[in-house]
Amino acid sequence: MSNMDISIRRKPQDGRTKVKYEDKEYDLRIATIPASYGEQMNIRILDQSQASASLQDLGLPEKLLTLLEEATSRPQGIILVTGPTGSGKSTTLYACLCKLNSPSKKILTVEDPIEFDIPGVNQVGVEPKTGLSFAAGLRSILRHDPDVVMVGEIRDEETASVALQAGMTGHLVFSTVHTNDSPSAITRLMDLGIEPFVISNALLCIVGQRLVRKICEKCKEPDPLTSQIIERIHPFLPQGSEQKTFWKGRRCEACQYTGYSDRIGIFEVLRITPSLRELIVPKVSALRLKQAAQQEGFEPMTQDGIRKALDGHTTIDEIFRVAPPEVGQVSEMLLSEPIDKEQGTFIKSQFVDGQFSAGAIRPKKILVVDDDDVFLRLVETILEAENYQIITALNGKEGLKLAIEEKPDLIITDLQMPEMDGITFVKKLKSQLSTRIIPTIMLTIRDDLSAEVKGLEAGADDYLVKPIESERLIVRVRRFFNSTLPAN
Ligand SMILES: [Zn+2]
């Protein structure tokens, strides 16, 4: 079983295996750890076809691609990729190595762990148990006199110092640094104790990147942005593009009601120019470096992101999530605007023209799902008299659509329905980020214990017995709004 021992349960284990799915081979990296409720397992799925992704496939804009390719054609120096975990750094590094891979070049890597196998490249995995650290591994592979070296990550002074020395002594070195943007990688190296002159001599360029979700092509539609968002992204818009359309996914079955499918990278490439070299002195700030680079044409990744949103690849919400435009001339009001974590969009300010808008005191919205039209009308009458706003659906499928679009505050659903029954409906609601927090009441028939259990197991928060009595319904509903007062 992935080279792991199933009889060992009290020690963390690591394993790997391959699976074939729809003619594609995937590598599975498996890690287990003993936790309070048994063993916890984490499986990373690595798509082997990603290993051979070319630089062109990554989504680097033409201009940045040229900068990066120029750097990779140098005989020596260091190229860094920065970004948080899961931003696609390794894919970029592998693409660079694949481009350089040829029988006439000796390429060696030290990785933790080896994510993809590249034919013709000697890859060494870091082994903390045997004392083979990044620094130690790097030292030993340098003795083999490689042309190109890749070190998985620079996170300590020793690795940084060996990597930069190698970059100044005839090797082309690739590595990653865990910083938010490319200018900060320079200050990080200084923080690790590397002399500024070493950095300025060895560094060729730094790539900064993030992954954003791509809009689902099946449900793509124009996204009318508020003037506040337009104002915020305005400094990044190419001239004349103010009137252009931005896009979003309406959410459909094909994208599992997320509005997104697949991912794409957004990038920035900081080239270490002669004038930037002069600026790399002790105590220089990342901001100062960035400003100087911008004067020479450096564009932060937000720029590439907004361009990709304008081209219809991703949404503005995604750019705000991973690489928000820096606050410059943004008004105070916008600063205080809360961001809805669930949706990643701006919540409309409730304070408008000196008074609270209707949003603050809007009636609670309840979605009732039942295939019995008469019953729906009854519930509607009872609850509307209590000042609740009622929307209805005749089956789970319709209910799911309304739950996503209307974002009700509470859902009441029947168990037996055509198309999609109550159990499936509740399970679907609870499996989606945007709907899982909506409390749900399941309607059951008197004395049907198994239905009650099934409903609660599926994720319903409460149940209510049919036929319904108005007082009981009202009490149950109010309970969810944390108040004994009628809603209004
Ligand atoms: Zn879709």
Alpha-helix runs per DSSP H in 52-118: 62-72, 89-100
Asked if pLDDT for residue 215 goes beyond 50, the answer is yes
Q: How far is the CA of 405 from the centre of ligand 1 (A)?
A: 13
Q: How far is the CA of 423 from the centre of ligand 1 (A)?
A: 24
Question: Which whole number is the average pLDDT over 381-405?
Answer: 89
The pLDDT value recorded for residue 265 is 94
The token pair that represents 483 in the structure block: 């108040």
The token pair that represents 217 in the structure block: 């092509």
Asked if pLDDT for residue 334 goes beyond 60, the answer is no
The pLDDT value recorded for residue 355 is 31
Asked if pLDDT for residue 447 goes beyond 60, the answer is yes
Q: How far is the CA of 215 from the centre of ligand 1 (A)?
A: 8
Q: How far is the CA of 222 from the centre of ligand 1 (A)?
A: 13
The pLDDT value recorded for residue 254 is 94
Q: How far is the CA of 249 from the centre of ligand 1 (A)?
A: 6
Q: How far is the CA of 177 from the centre of ligand 1 (A)?
A: 35
Q: Is residue 316 a contact partner of residue 229, using CB atoms and an 8 Å limit? A: yes
Q: How far is the CA of 412 from the centre of ligand 1 (A)?
A: 26
Asked if pLDDT for residue 343 goes beyond 60, the answer is no
The pLDDT value recorded for residue 362 is 66
Query: Could you report the per-residue pLDDT of 93-149, keeping only the tens digit for each?
Result: 999 999 999 999 999 999 988 888 888 899 999 887 788 899 999 999 999 999 999
Q: How far is the CA of 434 from the centre of ligand 1 (A)?
A: 15
**DSSP class of 372:** -
Question: Which whole number is the average pLDDT over 53-59?
Answer: 84
Closest CA to 211 of 44, 49, 59, 341: 59
**Percentage of the chain exceeding pLDDT 70:** 90
The token pair that represents 114 in the structure block: 């080896």
Question: Which whole number is the average pLDDT over 205-209?
Answer: 97
Q: How far is the CA of 432 from the centre of ligand 1 (A)?
A: 14
Q: How far is the CA of 248 from the centre of ligand 1 (A)?
A: 10
Which is it for strands 440-445 and 410-414: parallel, antiparallel or unpaired? parallel
CA distance 300 to 233: 13
Sign of CA dihedral 478, 483, 484, 487: negative
Q: How far is the CA of 100 from the centre of ligand 1 (A)?
A: 38
Q: How far is the CA of 221 from the centre of ligand 1 (A)?
A: 10
Q: How far is the CA of 28 from the centre of ligand 1 (A)?
A: 28
Amino acid making up residue 262: D
The pLDDT value recorded for residue 358 is 32
Q: How far is the CA of 231 from the centre of ligand 1 (A)?
A: 28
The token pair that represents 339 in the structure block: 């961001």
Q: How far is the CA of 213 from the centre of ligand 1 (A)?
A: 12
CA distance 398 to 386: 25
CA distance 76 to 459: 59
Beta strand segments in 310-456, E: 339-340, 345-346, 351-352, 355-356, 365-369, 389-393, 410-414, 440-445
Which residue would you say has higher pLDDT here, 215 or 455?
215
End-to-end Cα distance, the chain: 59
Radius of gyration of the chain (CA): 28
Q: Specify the DSSP element, H or E, that contains 480.
A: helix 470-480
**Close Cβ partners of 137 (under 8 Å, ≥ 6 residues apart):** 110, 124, 126, 151
Q: How far is the CA of 428 from the centre of ligand 1 (A)?
A: 16
- The 3-state secondary structure of 116-176 reads CCCCCCEEEECEHHHCECHHHHHHHHHCCCCCEEEECCCCCHHHHHHHHHHHHCCCEEEEE
Asked if pLDDT for residue 4 goes beyond 90, the answer is no
The pLDDT value recorded for residue 253 is 94
- What's the helix, strand, coil split of the chain in %, to 5? 35, 25, 40
Q: How far is the CA of 256 from the centre of ligand 1 (A)?
A: 7
Q: How far is the CA of 260 from the centre of ligand 1 (A)?
A: 6
Q: How far is the CA of 404 from the centre of ligand 1 (A)?
A: 13
Query: Could you report the per-residue pLDDT of 276-315, keeping only the tens digit for each?
Result: 999 999 989 999 999 999 999 999 999 999 999 999 999 9
Q: How far is the CA of 21 from the centre of ligand 1 (A)?
A: 23
**Close Cβ partners of 248 (under 8 Å, ≥ 6 residues apart):** 215, 220, 221, 222, 223, 259, 315, 317
Asked if pLDDT for residue 488 goes beyond 80, the answer is no
Query: Could you report the per-residue pLDDT of 404-434, keeping only the tens digit for each?
Result: 888 898 999 998 888 888 989 998 888 877 7
Q: How far is the CA of 46 from the centre of ligand 1 (A)?
A: 24
Q: How far is the CA of 311 from the centre of ligand 1 (A)?
A: 18
pTM summary value: 0.64
Question: Which whole number is the average pLDDT over 462-471?
Answer: 84
The residues placing their C-beta within 5 Å of ligand 1, an ion, are: 216, 218-219, 249, 252, 254-255
**Percentage of the chain exceeding pLDDT 90:** 50
Which is it for strands 247-249 and 260-271: parallel, antiparallel or unpaired? unpaired
- The 3-state secondary structure of 205-229 reads EEEEEEEEEEECCCCEEECCCCHHH
Q: How many degrees, rounded to 5, is the angle at CA 280 between CA 279 and CA 281?
A: 95
Residue 294: CB atoms within 10 A of its CB come to 13
Q: How far is the CA of 431 from the centre of ligand 1 (A)?
A: 17
Closest CA to 99 of 70, 125, 141: 70
Residue 367: CB atoms within 10 A of its CB come to 25
- The 3-state secondary structure of 258-319 reads CCEEEEEEEEEEEECCHHHHHHCCCCCCHHHHHHHHHHCCCCCHHHHHHHHHHCCCCCHHHH
Q: Is residue 29 a contact partner of residue 113, using CB atoms and an 8 Å limit? A: yes
Query: Could you report the per-residue pLDDT of 227-250, keeping only the tens digit for each?
Result: 888 888 888 888 777 677 899 999
Which residue would you say has higher pLDDT here, 446 or 20?
20
Tell me what the pLDDT averaged over the chain comes to.
85
Give strand pairing partners of 271. 205
Query: Could you report the per-residue pLDDT of 60-81, keeping only the tens digit for each?
Result: 999 999 999 999 999 999 999 9
